[in-house]
């Protein structure tokens, strides 16, 4: 069991975006990591602005989190990534603006 962080979303919120995140990868074998933990780790990096290698050790390995970030950040033919759509949906659900962390400074 890992520590809870302010950047975490609830499991209920995660269940609303799970299908979008899972659609990015063909199922070839069972996952070794919980996508909820991967997504919360990604949120942590985006919100805190830390380096990938500086992720707290109770999250999945930084290499796994980064690999999912790369997959979810690939843009489609409309120049939107899965991550863009997921963060937009979460901000619509919660009323919090979650997409600012992806905009270049």
Question: Looking at the domain assignment, is residue 88 inside a domain?
Answer: yes
Contact at 8 Å (CB) between 81 and 74? yes
Q: How far separated are the first and last CA of the chain, in Å rounded?
A: 35
Question: Looking at the domain assignment, is residue 6 inside a domain?
Answer: no
Q: Domain limits at 88?
A: 11-102
How many domains in the chain?
A: 1
Question: Looking at the domain assignment, is residue 2 inside a domain?
Answer: no
Contact at 8 Å (CB) between 62 and 15? no
pLDDT of residue 72 exceeding 90: yes
Model confidence pLDDT, tens digit, residues 22-49: 988 777 778 888 999 999 999 999 999 9
Question: Looking at the domain assignment, is residue 55 inside a domain?
Answer: yes
Its pTM stands at 0.84
Question: Looking at the domain assignment, is residue 49 inside a domain?
Answer: yes
- Name the token pair of 91: 């901000």
pLDDT-based confidence at residue 105 (cuts at 50, 70, 90): very low
Question: Looking at the domain assignment, is residue 5 inside a domain?
Answer: no
pLDDT-based confidence at residue 93 (cuts at 50, 70, 90): confident
Question: Looking at the domain assignment, is residue 97 inside a domain?
Answer: yes
């Amino acid at each position: 069991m890992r520590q809870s962080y302010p950047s975490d979303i609830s499991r209920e919120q995660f269940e609303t975006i799970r299908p979008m995140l899972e659609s990015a990868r063909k199922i070839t074998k069972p996952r070794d990591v919980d996508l909820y933990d991967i997504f919360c780790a990604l949120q942590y990096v985006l919100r805190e602005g830390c380096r990938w290698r500086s992720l707290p050790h109770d999250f999945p390995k930084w290499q796994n989190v980064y690999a999912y970030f790369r997959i979810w950040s690939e843009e489609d033919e409309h120049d939107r990534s899965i991550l863009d759509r997921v963060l937009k949906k979460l901000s619509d659900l919660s009323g919090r603006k979650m997409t600012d962390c992806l905009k270049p400074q």
